Amino acid sequence: MIRLAVRLTLNGGREAVTRLVITAVAVALGVGLLLAVLAASNAIDAQALRTGWFDITGSSDIHITGSSHSAPGASPEWWLSSYDAYDQQPIERVDVAALGPHAPVPPGITRLPGPGQYYASPALAALLRSVPADQLADRYPGHLIGTVGPAALQSPESLVIIIGRAPAQVARADGAARVTSIFTGRDPTNSTQGIAAVLGIVAIALLFPVLVFISTATRLAAARREQRFAAMRLAGATPRQVSVVATVEAAIAAIAGTAAGFCLFFGFRSELARIPFSGHPFFAGDMRLSPPAIIVVVLGIPAAAAVVAHVALRRVRISPLGTARRVRARRPSAWRTLPLLAGIGELVYFTAVGHPTTVNGQLWAYLGGGALTVAGVVIAGPWLTMAGSALLAGRASRPAGLLAARRLADDPKGAFRAISGLILAVFTATVAVGIISSMTENHALQTFGAAGRHILIAGLTGPRNLQDPNAAPGGVAVPASVTGRLLAVPGVSSVVVSHVRPAGTTADNLVDCGQLARLPVLGSCAPGASVAAFDLQPMGSTPGTRRTRVWPTVAMSAARVDRLPASGLLVGTNGATATLEQARTIIETSFPLQASPVTVFDSQGQQLLAAWQQLAGVVILAGLPIAGCSLAVGVIAGLTDRKRPFSLLRLAGAPVGLLRRVVALESSLPLLVVAVVSAALGLLVAELFLNSQLGLNLRPPGLAYYGYVAGGVLLSLGIIAATFPLLSRVTGPEAARSE
């Protein structure tokens, strides 16, 4: 039977070849996407292994400022790692000073730079050449002597600089350390669990439409195959043998699709590496597959595709006369909504009682609830389609509406199957866009509001006494020339100086209320106050309260505060890149190795959110074409299976225009009804997740989201309209002849 099944599959005529090719394409897309996600997980681990050197806490013989001990046989060096940025792009900066000929050398370079020299990553070297010096290059003393190699870079676009300094310069800097070896390995502060969870969600979001596509493709010309299988039963074939034929047909397509999927992955691996799954693109070599993953995909995907196809073709298990005695399928009931309600109920539960305390608990809770909700949308879809058909039947006054309503009522599962890929794409995209957009907006606006995007914040000092964290921090003097240079930059509106607290006081940084009034977005002083206690940290406030906060009054004169050492600078700008970067350069060159000016958008958390937002775009861009292909195949399959009924209607006098309206209504009605329900459910799921996990509220999606949904619906309607010429060809009088 297996040889017979292979012959029928490969030599079954144009329809069999078309069905085989479409199913293989569907499997290839699914395998390619799955391999990309698996390789991305490995690439993220590879990135984490290359970033450990930047964190000296893993190095041996660390001594903070003032220690002179070194390990035997190795020369120590002064090491200061800090954070810099350009146009919201983080720059990893290391200032080093060798104390002997055998000082350790960071990965990616051949020797330590001397005073007046530095190494830069290829991306940073290109940036230094392309932007004006007063926006970036002036921050780094000396000249470029080479590039940092891939061994020290997280990604090809990483901005890394290693600057040589005189030992006395680095020794005086807060946070400097003496090291005799450089740590290699995974950065202990860089956890990949969060992005791994996001990749798992992405995999689910991408694979569901692909599985729907496989199921739809295998049903292409299902009625014709059922007649063929019935003929086989008449010739003496058993139900088991018929099942073997159907399964072999699906397995051949799955095996061919799996092979094509591997070809797609390796053929486009370089392009896939450019997708910033973790916020940064990968090196092409990072996108590798482990042997166990290859074995699982090679064996598991064909098996899973065969099972999906077998379930989709379960109606072929009929009696020899089954094509003439097919029993009408049971109508879907409201019980189909239970999985959907269960998934939403789980999220409501965690919203009420709080999220699990462990990372694994949160992963299982939200992935489980998300998967159950997605499956619930698919399971409840036929019932929603049937409800839409009832609504159409009650309001229809023309033959096309009545015929479409009748068709939907007869086979709501088939009608929903054709649009299920697009519905899943709408649902997953709504959840992704809702969550990520809300996280991004709340993260950016939680401290200062919209105007906070334009404020540059520079801390000018750190704790001098590491044994007594409660000791008053040191400070620096801010010459009038520095504030004058800042105010001379086009686009800078104001400069506020915060001051260190005097010894013996418990206040935060102090600020002159007259200066604070120049930047009202930072908050305000109480009426009549001259000095206030101010929180300099950009993310140190309760979300949404900082911009309206009234800072505590301090009983001190403004003149006395202005004489205290400065602890920080806050520069108000117009938000232009040139303005922010010129101001940042002025501060860094005025206070070398003391200041790291940042904006709200410069934080690493914001970079990760941007990465997740890009992942949402990946889901949308990958899911929409797959859903469109699924819809096209579903509509064509429906037309092929109904050639004879439509031909008989034409013989009875029904015009082709009437049949076109029937096809348009029975395809577009469930599409519109379930799309609206899916979008609403997606927003609800996003709101519940944000409330339970992050304590945030959903922010309305931007115009891009509505454009995506509208574009998807219009594309779907266009696909339905594109089948009208096929309808004219397959419903001619010759299709109604007796067989």
Closest CA to 212 of 407, 424, 493: 424
Closest CA to 283 of 49, 518, 576: 49
Does residue 524 surpass a pLDDT of 80?
A: yes
The yes-or-no verdict on residue 92 having pLDDT over 80 is yes
Q: Residue 587 has what pLDDT?
A: 93
Give the number of other Cβ atoms within 10 Å of residue 362's Cβ: 18
| Residue 342, token pair as written in the block | 């269960």
User: For 583-652, what is the HEC assignment?
Assistant: HHHHHHHHCCCCCCCECHHHCHHHHHHHHHHHHHHHHHHHHHHHHHHHHHHHHHHHHHHCHHHHHHHHHC
Cβ atoms of residues 94 and 106 within 8 Å: yes
pLDDT the model gives residue 129: 93
Whether residue 701 has pLDDT greater than 60: yes
Q: Which residues contact 293 (CB under 8 A, 6 or more apart)?
A: 38
Q: What is the mean pLDDT of the chain?
A: 76
DSSP 693: I
Which position has the token pair 């914001």?
606
- Whether residue 579 is predicted with pLDDT greater than 50 in this model: the reply is yes
678: CB partners within 8 A, 6+ apart: 377, 423, 424, 426, 427, 430
pLDDT at site 69:
38
| pLDDT score at 95 | 93
Look at 87-91, 216-220, 363-367, 627-631 and tell me which has the smallest mean pLDDT: 216-220
pLDDT digits (tens, 9 = 90+) for 402-444: 877 777 777 787 777 777 777 777 787 788 778 777 776 665 5
Q: How far apart are CA 577 and CA 270, in angstroms?
A: 31
User: 357: pLDDT confidence band, cut at 50, 70 and 90?
Assistant: confident
Percent above pLDDT 70 for the chain? 71
Distance between CA 661 and CA 9 in Å, rounded? 35
Sequence-distant (≥ 6) Cβ neighbours of residue 642 within 8 angstroms: none
- Would you say 17 and 201 are in contact if contact means Cβ atoms under 8 Å apart? no
The string of pLDDT tens digits covering residues 229-271 is 667 767 777 767 776 776 777 778 788 888 998 999 999 888 8
Which tops the pLDDT comparison, 503 or 398?
398
Residue 146: pLDDT band (50, 70, 90) is very high
Which residues, at least 6 apart from 737, have a Cβ–Cβ distance to it below 8 Å? none
Contact predicate 117/142, CB 8 Å: yes
Confidence of residue 57 (pLDDT cuts 50, 70, 90): very low
Domain segments of the chain as ranges: 1-51+191-325, 53-179, 354-448+602-739, 461-594
Model confidence over 632-685: pLDDT tens digits?
Answer: 777 777 777 677 777 777 777 778 888 888 888 877 777 787 778 888 888 888
Q: What is the pLDDT of residue 608?
A: 57
